[in-house]
Amino acid sequence: MNEMKDKRVIEKQYVVDAITVMDTWRMFKIMAEFVEGFETLSDIYPCVSIFGSARVRPGDDTYEKTVEIARKLAENGYHIITGGGPGVMEAGNKGAREGGSKSVGLNIHLPMEQEPNAYADIRLSFKYFFVRKVMFVKYAQAYVGMPGGFGTLDEIFEAITLIQTKRIKPFPVILFGSDYWQPLWKWIEDTLLARTLISPADLELVTILDNPDEVVKTIKRTVIV
């Protein structure tokens, strides 16, 4: 029995050691992604990050509005950063190219592979979501959230949290499409604010708009080209 116990202990230690070695090498991979991102994006300013569903297609109102918003921002001197994939990301990169600004796509490796869209002129590919999220926050001077799913909510609320806790300087966080976003914001007001889980000032961290021209005007008021 003791021999079997000793064997299990040795095997367990071997597994722990193997995981430790893997984690050490993983750190180098993480550092490499940070370095590549910093070196590639460091001279791109000013930028607007656009988020939204990967599932919308050309012809969909959300897709076409995203193209319009990105194009108008580009024409006013703003570069566009997206997640580099299809749907809203593709639309954002397409609008950036049409408007003559730099079109950046930060692609992510997923189990169901996300293919980079054809409109991103500057492409980076990430394995780690948290590294990619740092790039979005670090190099964006504004966020535009189009209708989207969990990934969109994640990116938007990450920015709101960082601004709320003063971990980053405040910047415009715009949610486009009141019919999509207003029910969520009403729940936040009726539930989170009503239970004093957030402050009244926190509601002002986000602007909900329906007009692409208003998106540009709102960003131009605080982000100087």
**Tell me, what DSSP letter sits at residue 19?**
H
Q: How far is CA 59 from the centre of its chain?
A: 23
Beta-bridge partner residues of 47: 79
CB 41 within 8 A of CB 119: no
Whole-number Å distance between alpha carbons of 23 and 163: 31
pTM of the complete model:
0.87
pLDDT tens per residue across span 86-144: 999 999 999 999 999 999 999 998 776 578 899 999 999 999 999 999 999 999 999 99
For residue range 134-175, what is the model confidence (pLDDT) as tens digits?
A: 999 999 999 999 999 999 999 999 999 999 999 999 999 999
For the stretch 22-56, pLDDT in tens is 677 788 899 999 999 999 999 999 999 999 999 99
pLDDT of residue 18: 47
- Euclidean distance between CA atoms 29 and 41, whole angstroms: 18
Angle of the 129-139 helix axis to the 2-41 helix axis, nearest 10: 20
Instruction: Return d(Cα 204, Cα 120) in angstroms, integer.
Output: 32
Q: What is the mean pLDDT of the chain?
A: 90
How many DSSP H helices and E strands does the chain contain? 7, 7
